[in-house]
Structure 1
Amino acid sequence: MQIRTSIEGIVPVMLTPFDASGAIDYAGLERLIEWYIEKGSDALFAVAQSSEMQFLSLDERRALGRFVVEKVAGRIPVVVSGHISDDLDAQAEELNVAAKTGAQGIVLVTNHLDPKREGTAAFTANLERLLARLPADMPLGLYECPAPYRRLLSDDELKRCIDTGRFIMLKDVSCDLDTVKRRVALAKGSPLKVLNANAAIARDAMKAGSAGFNGVFTNFHPDLYKWLREHDAGKTAQDPTLADELATFLVLSAVSEALGYPALAKIYHQRIGTFDSIRCRVIDYDVRERFWALDAVLDKIVAGTEQFRERIAALSAHA
């Protein structure tokens, strides 16, 4: 079987906007899709943890994935997860629902392949049972989702997945550059692309062969990550000082993920007119009450983002 789909570059993990009643805000979602594409995203990862997938019903996951695929309309690839169950039958059902959305790939969450933390034998057995129940021609991905626990793949487990020929991406949550390098080497020559999700090592990981970036701050400035990737690949006008300063800014900005994400990202999108509400299902507290001066932090991220966009535009204009 020849898998032709490729997921690489800057791949946002999509937010899910909710209205004041808690229902999915599809008008806001459509605006978000257009924003991602306008900002140069290379693909989209829908119904992920950033989408609050653990708090969506199966019908909502189905509708959300299908809506994203329909509105993207083939402009960039879309992968969909919604893999939240431990029971094998439930997993097969929800992943087949994802496959029917029309997405270019569906993404398996590693911790649900070993829910009792039993190790490689359990992981492999569950993987094989699940693969047998999924469409053989559907490209697959792997996601080391931190919830309910971060289940990193061993080298042997990753190699088993690669050897099936069915996997096209790994959302790497190792947060370790040496691990990323080792995985890139393991995947060489295969359809699988390693996408680092940790902002602290994003630049170094891409230089080391990671096929792109798949972290949460693609919800603030995917275009800045894209410019940095293309700069380091020699595809844009060169300014090493600008690139170094931007890389530092991106790392420091991403530290604010701990301040109530994804509500933090929704506040940003409310500011720019994408969302009407910052309602979350995963967060049941007032983020501004818990994280003092949250808006002041966001002010600096927004200001820095715009300053770097202006500097990049000026550099491009004089190239």
Structure 2
Amino acid sequence: MFHGSMVALVTPMHPDGAVDEESLRALIDWHVEQGTDAIVIVGTTGESATLDPAEHCHVIRLTVQHVAGRIPVIAGTGANSTREAIELTRCAMQAGADACLLVTPYYNKPTQQGLYLHHKAVAEAVPVPQILYNVPGRTACDMLPDTVVRLAEIPNIVGIKEATGNLARAGEILDRCGDKIDLYSGDDATALDCILAGAKGDISVTANVAPAAMHAMCTAALAGDADKARAINAPLEALHRDLFLEANPIPVKWALMEMGKIPTGIRLPMTLLSEPYHESVRAALRMAGVLDEK
């Protein structure tokens, strides 16, 4: 249903933490111009955990309105409360989002049956296309392939963002349910190989700062041109690594600040990037060709 480079967009904020709507609109326009294939708004990179429900829905509505059908909008609507996830997903559908991305319930550590029933409940309550999101390094909850296979039978569950970086895991999901749902990489460092193996694209942090290159890499990989994709990806490898020197989205927001794209807002408990990492991220931006030498 979706394909290519799908940016896991940051939520720009003023220094006091208020959402910066003007910068958000400018980022959206930039991504459309640069070839980004879809915008994923208020996912975990978008600091969904610290936006209250009213803000969360407002940012989704603003994004859908400003995108105005130019590219798809996928709204992050996951929560560790099934009721809250249903409410956010319903809000996103009413706002006109093309799909919703639902992270596995974090902190609760549900069983595999609990994960199945959680996502089944959301899918049955809200008839919008839904993408599962498995990122156990952040949630302490790992959705296993057997559970993905069960959920793939639900008609409006259309994909999974698999962010373990485990290519064997991705391959198993593709083998067992690739005819029922699409697989998307959620790990920039392994995204190229994941797409070459059959994934439909990458829900990307790196695309925040290098959208044109990520679009070109994904396009080449989807076309099966491995050599071209690897050549495009090579200058991005430092970004794939260094945008995770501290917890996401700390480094990527700092990188966008350094590029002049957003102001210095980030919400506690997240903080600005620690000074010892500044030069590493700057060097990665320069290597990718998105930051001039100073």
TM (normalized to structure 2)?
0.89
* Pair 1:101-2:90 in alignment: no
**Equivalent position of 2:119 in the other structure:** 127
SS of 1:223's equivalent in the other structure is helix
Kindly tell me: are residues 131 and 23 of structure 1, through their superposed partners in 2, closer, same or farther at Cα, counting changes over 3 Å? same
**Equivalent position of 1:258 in the other structure:** 244
Query: 2 CA distance for matches of 1:146 and 1:49?
Result: 13
Equivalent in 205, 208, 219 of residue 219 of structure 1:
208
Query: 2 CA distance for matches of 1:107 and 1:54?
Result: 14
Larger mean CA deviation between 9-18 and 219-228 belongs to 219-228
Equivalent in 76, 83, 93 of residue 71 of structure 2:
76
**Equivalent position of 1:314 in the other structure:** none
TM (normalized to structure 1)?
0.82
Query: 2 CA distance for matches of 1:65 and 1:231?
Result: 30
**Equivalent position of 1:248 in the other structure:** 234
Query: 1 CA distance for matches of 2:38 and 2:137?
Result: 23
Residue 18 of structure 1: how far off its partner (Å)? 0.7
* Pair 1:23-2:31 in alignment: no
Percentage identity across paired residues of the two chains = 20
Q: Which has the greater radius of gyration?
A: 1
Aligned residues: 290
- Amino acid paired to 1:255: R
**Equivalent position of 1:196 in the other structure:** 185
**Equivalent position of 1:45 in the other structure:** 40
**Equivalent position of 2:143 in the other structure:** 153
Residue 230 of structure 1: how far off its partner (Å)? 2.7
- Amino acid paired to 1:50: T
Are the equivalent residues in 1 in contact too, given 2:104–2:139 (CA < 8 A)? Answer: no
Kindly tell me: are residues 244 and 284 of structure 1, through their superposed partners in 2, closer, same or farther at Cα, counting changes over 3 Å? closer
**Equivalent position of 2:257 in the other structure:** 270
Q: Which runs of 5 or more residues in structure 2 are unaligned?
A: none
Are the equivalent residues in 2 in contact too, given 1:142–1:167 (CA < 8 A)? Answer: yes
**Equivalent position of 1:303 in the other structure:** 286
Are the equivalent residues in 1 in contact too, given 2:167–2:190 (CA < 8 A)? Answer: yes
Q: Which runs of 5 or more residues in structure 1 are unaligned?
A: 1-5, 309-319
Kindly tell me: are residues 95 and 70 of structure 1, through their superposed partners in 2, closer, same or farther at Cα, counting changes over 3 Å? same
Query: 1 CA distance for matches of 2:217 and 2:109?
Result: 38
Equivalent in 191, 198, 202 of residue 209 of structure 1:
198
Residues 5-24 of structure 1 aligned to structure 2 (within 5 Å): 6-24=1-19
